[in-house]
Amino acid sequence: MTNLARRSLLRAAAAVPVVSTLGFPAIVRAAAGPEFVFKYGNNLPLTHPLNVRSQEAANQVREASKGRMEVRIFPNNQLGGDTDMLAQVRSGGIEMFTPSALVVSTLAPSVAINAVGFAFGDYDQVWRAMDGKLGAYVRAAMQKAGLESFEKMWDNGFRQTTTSTAPIVNAQNMHGLKIRVPVSPLSIDMFKGLGAAPTSLQFSEVYSSLQTHIVDAQENPLPIVQVAKLYEVQKYCSLTNHMWDGYWFVLNPRAWQRLPKDLQGIVSDAFNQAGLKQREDVRKLNDAAVADLQSKGLTINHPSPDTFRTALRQAGFYGQWKNRFGNEAWDLLEQSVGKLA
């Protein structure tokens, strides 16, 4: 018997008592269970818009597919840290994952191009590039590295610097700073260029490493400082806006290809639309975050980007990363943000 035949038989068998006792055929499909289940892992608490909007998308998928397809969300590093989940989505242990572009760059180096220091000035530039040619370039690079992706990137945000020691007012204050950065060669290099002493740790380790002073500082967008309660273990927040970071929705290619075309359409529509709403959520959270974090005890300052940019230029950061990303990716970035190096 083929799998399909066996499945329909099972479904029919499961349906009989339900239909005959309740006369309610809508339950038939649910009784048999979904035909396709995608496990989706991520590194953020349930309260972050990434999880809120993903849950909405998952609900939409269940409804639009009439129960044939289910996306099960495993938030907050339940399945391991970023490096583990990246390995799992490639091997097929999970079907979906939202790594930051920084983290994907350990597989496909050009994917971190959006996070070049002080490149993007605002969200108009960001979305024009990531919904346009730069995003298409990066998605092709991910595909070569064995990862499918949805078209719309989700927002993480402009990254800001928090410390437990002293505020960062200029590049000078970065000297020797023990700062946690994601598992990302670009982040390490950039903070070294600024004179800091960066360490790569998975996000799952950040709160405890700040609490135990393995590191004194970290850098993340404000909504993450809020939902992961990093304000509990940090004193200062400097709005350095040093890079823009987003999440790619990546998929295991074999699992994706196994989905019938109609389900592919339902899933990608649901998640792309949810991504657009998530971008708005993060924008609104950002607007309210400064006052909220101040009320939670963080001292906030607004440093000028000038000394940081100068330090990076002097360290040869832009020239070096132009070589690493390659001319094509770099040109696409500069088409959006103007000349960098």
Binding residues for ligand X2X, rule: CB under 6 A, are: 43, 100, 102-103, 156, 182, 203, 220, 224, 245
The least CB distance from residue 120 to ligand X2X, in Å, is 16
The least CB distance from residue 102 to ligand X2X, in Å, is 5
Q: Which is nearer to ligand X2X, 182 or 193 (CB)?
A: 182
Q: Which is nearer to ligand X2X, 33 or 45 (CB)?
A: 45
The least CB distance from residue 184 to ligand X2X, in Å, is 7
CA-wise closest residue to 129 among 332, 327, 338: 332
The least CB distance from residue 206 to ligand X2X, in Å, is 7
Q: Which is nearer to ligand X2X, 147 or 224 (CB)?
A: 224
Q: Which is nearer to ligand X2X, 69 or 102 (CB)?
A: 102
Q: Which is nearer to ligand X2X, 36 or 207 (CB)?
A: 207
The least CB distance from residue 193 to ligand X2X, in Å, is 19
